[in-house]
Structure formats: structure tokens, C-alpha cells
Structure 1
Amino acid sequence: MMTKRFSGTAPEADEYRLFTLRNASDMVATITERDAALWSWRAPDRYGRMADVLLAPKGASNPVLWQGRHADGGVTLLRVGAGGAVAQLAKYRLDDDGCLSVEHELVAMAPTPLDQGACPTFNLNGGIADVGDHMVQIDADYYVEVDADGMPSGVAAVAGTAFDFRQPAPIGARLRWPDSQICGRGGFNHSLFVRSHFAGGQGPLRTVARIVDPGSGRCLQVRTTEAAVQFRAGHQGGFSVESQARPELASAAWPHVIVSPGQVYRQTTVYRLTLQA
């Protein structure tokens, strides 16, 4: 465990701790109390060269509100909101098969907008180039369109659009599509509804995305219990696939999910980092 300083916060709030997880393949994942975020993840490429496949988190919404500790072979972080209105847990575990599991649990004592914490931004080549040649596959038939202000405006089929990642496609080529949903917006920042055998809500853990960097051979698989993912690319030189709850579109709160008093929200995401043959 290490302590780092984060400049730009109040003096009493400028220290946070880092917790390290290591597996049998010498992968090393570091988790920070700052937003309960994944800070770094060092892993080998096809030649055995180690590199960090994450871009460091930028900014922090509440950088001293989380308290972490090593527990049960992983790392557990706890956040309690002002007045005890919300309690939130984040649990990280790194397995020997390259699976980094992230479990979130939130209990609300008052109506609370769902905040799942910081989402990791990846660059599988270790930052030696951009992610333009990363091949992306996302098991989704529909995506959420956004208006000029970036707010959700409706749902559209991915077929025939830049959002059709049902078959692997390179990020860079898709960013160059003459699509009004991408042009002028800096790239992808959209929610996609993943295929599943259930209608809405949470379900069993299943693979919803696969991203491959041909140069390094690193392959990232994303598994989730959620019914949607937020795909971001073209921002900060990396990409992210964030598990998301899928609210009813008729809800006045859409696109937000409100956790009701006494309700317990649970979510699991598993990132598996392997090497492509």
C-alpha cells in the first residue's frame, strides 16, 4: 500500500492511498481511494514486455470520501455519504487467469442518482500509439442517440451506422465516418444496449465486448451483469467500456437511474486481459 498526493484539493483532502494486486502472471493492478478507481494495470504483451494499459484517471469528484483496505484476497473500498444518506462499496479482485472483477454495491436512505464511480480508460498498446487500430466488438443491436447538447434523444438500430460493432471493426476507421453523432463531438460517447435473453434490468454475468490491439496482442474482454454499456473512444487517446444500468425510456429520470430509499443496487463487471494467439 502506498500514499500519493493529489494536488488541487483542500489541504486536508490531498492524500489518498493506493492498493496493489498481483497475480501469478506478474500482472499488477493498482486501485486508488481517489474515486475508488483503477489507477494502473501492468500486463505483458506477446513478447513478454510489461506496460501499463490504463490512462491515469483525470480529476476526481470526491477524492477523500472513499476508505480502502485489503480484504479477502482483494481490495474493498467504502464510501458513506453526508448524513449517511448513501453507503457504497467497491470490491476489486485480480485472478490468475487475467480477470479483474469489480463489484459495486449501493444502499440509499433517500432517492439517490446512481453513481458507479470512475471508469477505467484503456490503451492496450501501453501508450506508445493511439487506439486507432484497436479492433472493437460490442454485442449490441441498439444505441442511444444524443442531441446537440450531448443529451439522449432516442434509440436507434446500429445496423448501417458507425455504431455497428457486432463484427470487429477498428476504432480509427469508425471515427472517420461522416456520422453526425460522431462528427464534432470528439468521437464516441454513447450508450449501447447489449443483447441478452432478458428484457431490461440486470441479468447473469456475460461477455458483451472484446477489444484487441493487433500490435501488442493484448485482448480485453468485458463481462457485465448490466443491460447497457457506455462506449467512449476518441477522447483522451484511449477507450472505455463502462457497464450501465438501463432505465426505462419512458421514465422522467432517463437517462439517469434513481436508487430508491432502502433499495440495494448491485453490479459486477469483469475485465479479462489475455494475449491473442
Structure 2
Amino acid sequence: MTNLFPSAPAASDQYRLFTLRNACDMTVTISERGATLRSWRAPDRYGRMADVVHAGADGASVVAPPALWQGRHAGGGVALQLKVPGGAADLRASYRLDDDGCLTIAYDVQARLPTLVELQTHPSFNLNGGIAGIGDHMLQIDADYYVEVDAGGNPIGVAAVGGTPFDFRQPAPIGARLRWPDGQISQAGGFDHCFYVGNHFSGGQGPLREVARVFDPGSGRRLQMCTTEAALQFCAAGSTGAGPWRHDGFCLEANARPELVNAAWPRLVLHPGQAYRQTTAYRLSLQA
């Protein structure tokens, strides 16, 4: 059985970059190296352009071992294709940017051999363009449950978000939640946890629907996330320097529920002739 999981691409790969531009002068750059989102330039409330993809982002790599995708402009977007070594499966990814600032990322896997699939889109964002941390970003996640992890980041149980720093059912500043005296937060050095945004008990995929949103009051930029997946991983990336720990980027990564992956949930295993599709969309706009 072949396993398809995210991985950082090899630095030695030769690759091309593709740029998409919409009517609002937003630009998105996609790389063949790992099929990654490399930059997303957009205006703030004063019309100043900045790249909201955090410099330390891994992008949207969807396969291991590291691989070079073949890309081309197609249908107003970018289409990328990868043949998995050994001929187990063919993977396709597409990026499309519309004039409303919505970047839609779709994946399609066609299996020739039994294949365990976990596709993930994991760009890291900073809506102020990196001029400051993300502490004042207001985050909202439509989730009643999250997954507790051990020191190695492995899932150990499911807990209700109520009464914890993981309760983002109403908008809350990320920085304030990072300062809560919580064992899960201190153990991970911040957030790196899965939230259930689909039906907690059924799992599986659903229709494309909005599951999270983030607002930066300084720039006025607002990011909305939609997905067909049952869960999302919220991460707050950080860096250390002369001062205290500063969280410089956040990630909202759509994926399958972690215990379903570990238990080889049937829908994640493709048999010869079967296909798997996943869609995630991020919409970037301005809010008063």
C-alpha cells in the first residue's frame, strides 16, 4: 500500500513559478516544487500591498517523498500533475483565483494500487503582511470539539472546547488565548491542534462550506476558509529572538480527523480504479 502524506520538497529540485492575478490586482504565486502556495499579495484598507503568506510557510505540499509537480496555466488557473513513483496513483492539483478574492485549491487522486491518502493544504498566513505578530488577529472556528495531543503531537483524546482556550466559536484574539495557563498550550508552545468542523461522530467529507474566519484589525484584511473536509488543524507558528516568544503566522489546514487516519478509516484507502477529491477555498477581503 502506498501512503500519500505532506512533505517539504527537496531544495535541489528545479521548478517553475506560476502567477494568477484578479481584477482587484491581487496576485497569487504557485510553485511546482511541492505544488505549494508561495505568495499572496493583497491590499490593506489603505490600498497598501503586502504578501500575507508567512515567510516560513511550507505551502500546500501533498505527497511524500518530495516531488516536482508538472504545472501549466489552464482554465484561468494553474493545473499541476504528479505521477506517484511506482505507478500507484496519479495526483492532480488546481489553483484558481476569482475576482472576489477567493483562492480555490482542489485535489484529485486516481489510484492504480491500494493507496492510503491524506491530502492537506497548509499555507501559513499573517494578515498584516509580517510587520507584526498575529496576537491581535481575531479567530473564529465553527467547532465544538478539538483533539488533545501528547508531547509528540499524537492524538490521545477528544475534548469539548467549552471553557478552554480552544473555544473559538465566537471571535477571539489569538494572542490572548496563547497566554492561557493550559497544559495543551504550554506543551505545544502554542496551538497545533485539530478541530472537528464536520459531524463529530460520522466523519468523512461533506459539501464545501465555511468553517473558519480570521480578521486583522490593523490592516482590515479578513480571511475566510471553506472546506469539504471533516476537520482542520489550527497552528500558530512562532519565532524566538531577543525578546519574548512571538507568533508570526497561523495555519488553518483542512484534513481528515487524525484518529480516522491512524485507524485506516475506509474512505481514506483507495483501491485500484477509485478516486478521491478534496477542495479547500480561502477568501481574502477587507472588513471595516
TM-score normalised by structure 2 residue count: 0.86
Aligned to 1:227: 230
Answer whether contact 2:10 2:67 (CA < 8 A) is retained.
no
Matched, 1:21 2:20: yes
Once the two structures are superposed, the pairs formed by residues 117-136 of structure 1 within 5 Å of their partners are 119-136=122-139
Aligned to 2:53: 54
Letter in 2 for 1:121: S
Q: Are the structure 2 counterparts of residues 201 and 115 from structure 1 closer, same or farther at C-alpha, using a change threshold of 3 Å?
A: closer
Deviation, structure 1 residue 113: 3.2
Matched, 1:97 2:100: yes
- SS of the equivalent of 1:153 reads strand
Answer whether contact 1:203 1:226 (CA < 8 A) is retained.
yes
Deviation, structure 1 residue 52: 0.2
Q: Are the structure 2 counterparts of residues 235 and 104 from structure 1 closer, same or farther at C-alpha, using a change threshold of 3 Å?
A: farther
Greater displacement, 226-235 / 189-198:
189-198
Matched, 1:203 2:206: yes
Q: Are the structure 2 counterparts of residues 215 and 175 from structure 1 closer, same or farther at C-alpha, using a change threshold of 3 Å?
A: same
Q: Are the structure 2 counterparts of residues 198 and 44 from structure 1 closer, same or farther at C-alpha, using a change threshold of 3 Å?
A: farther
Deviations 1:56-78 (A, max 9, x none): 43497655431100000000000
Deviation, structure 1 residue 86: 1.6
Aligned to 1:263: 274
Aligned to 1:3: none
Deviation, structure 1 residue 55: 1.7
Greater displacement, 105-114 / 177-186:
105-114
- Selected match of 1:275 from 272, 276, 286: 286
Give distance in 1, aligned partners of 2:36 and 2:10.
18
Matched, 1:246 2:245: no
Answer whether contact 1:123 1:238 (CA < 8 A) is retained.
yes
Give distance in 1, aligned partners of 2:249 and 2:261.
33
Deviations 1:124-163 (A, max 9, x none): 0000001111000000000111012210011111111111
Considering only aligned residues, what root-mean-square deviation do their CA atoms show, in Å?
A: 2.5
Letter in 2 for 1:265: Y
Matched, 1:157 2:150: no
Give distance in 2, aligned partners of 1:143 and 1:131.
21
TM-score normalised by structure 1 residue count: 0.89
Q: Are the structure 2 counterparts of residues 26 and 250 from structure 1 closer, same or farther at C-alpha, using a change threshold of 3 Å?
A: closer
Query: What is the aligned residue count?
Result: 268
Greater displacement, 70-79 / 113-122:
113-122
Give distance in 2, aligned partners of 1:250 and 1:103.
20
Unaligned 5+ segments in structure 1 are: 1-6
- SS of the equivalent of 1:174 reads helix
Once the two structures are superposed, the pairs formed by residues 49-88 of structure 1 within 5 Å of their partners are 49-56=48-55, 57-58=57-58, 62-88=65-91
Greater displacement, 23-32 / 199-208:
199-208
Greater displacement, 232-241 / 220-229:
232-241
Give the share of equivalent positions with the same residue, in percent: 64
Unaligned 5+ segments in structure 2 are: 1-8, 240-247
Give distance in 1, aligned partners of 2:118 and 2:18.
22
Q: Are the structure 2 counterparts of residues 197 and 177 from structure 1 closer, same or farther at C-alpha, using a change threshold of 3 Å?
A: closer
Give distance in 2, aligned partners of 1:250 and 1:68.
29
